[in-house]
Amino acid sequence: MRVALYARVSTSDNSQNPESQLFKLRERVKNRDWIIIGEYVDTKSGKDANRPELQRLLEDCRAGKIDIIFITKLDRMMRSVKNLLNVLEDLNRWNVNLECIDQPIETHSAMGKMMVTILGAVAEFESELISERVRDGMTRAKLEGKHVGRPKKRMGQKSTPPFSEASQKSEVEENER
């Protein structure tokens, strides 16, 4: 079997590391006599279907280089049901299976395909709930007169990254006033 490993994290900061996913995926393949064709890693939102490594993975699938794709969880592949179903349709046409190692999901069977569709809808729902909560919090903060977004740059002041110790310190000092 020719295997591809796909991992995705949403941010490039140190709070998320795709190596945790890749470690699990490599272990799964190591126990079988399969060949890892490639490791594909994206650092982007799962809502965006135009991720560079996902597109490279799909090109390799289309070219007949891959038999099965391993992912840890379905939401690592897609956060949109429409995009997920489009990818699954393409994979099916190219005779490529998808298997989630942390969830009982595979696309070899009718039951597996149904589970993928249901869990894809749940992943999209979860993503939309998070977005709604963020928008609600920003709206409330604006109504309370709080600044929303990056800190305002004052004349002659060097800008600091939004989550540096300096910006957190000044925020704490301002909140204590």
For the entire predicted model, the pTM comes to: 0.64
Higher local confidence (pLDDT), 50 or 155 = 50
Q: What stretches of the chain adopt beta strand conformation (E)?
A: 2-9, 35-43, 68-71, 97-100, 105-106
* Contact present, 10 and 74 (Cβ < 8 Å): no
Tens of pLDDT, residue by residue over 104-124, are 777 777 777 777 777 767 777
Query: Does position 49 have pLDDT exceeding 60, yes or no?
Result: yes
Active-site hit among 10, 45, 127, 167: 10
CA distance 171 to 168: 5
Catalytic residue check, 170: no
**Closest-CA residue to 46 (of 86, 11, 70):** 11
Angular region, 96: left φ>0, alpha ψ -120 to 50, beta rest:
beta
Tens of pLDDT, residue by residue over 65-86, are 999 999 998 888 877 778 888 8
Residues facing 43 on adjacent strands: 9
Higher local confidence (pLDDT), 41 or 108 = 41
Domains of the chain (ranges plus CATH)?
2-129 (3.40.50.1390)
Q: How many residues in the chain? A: 177
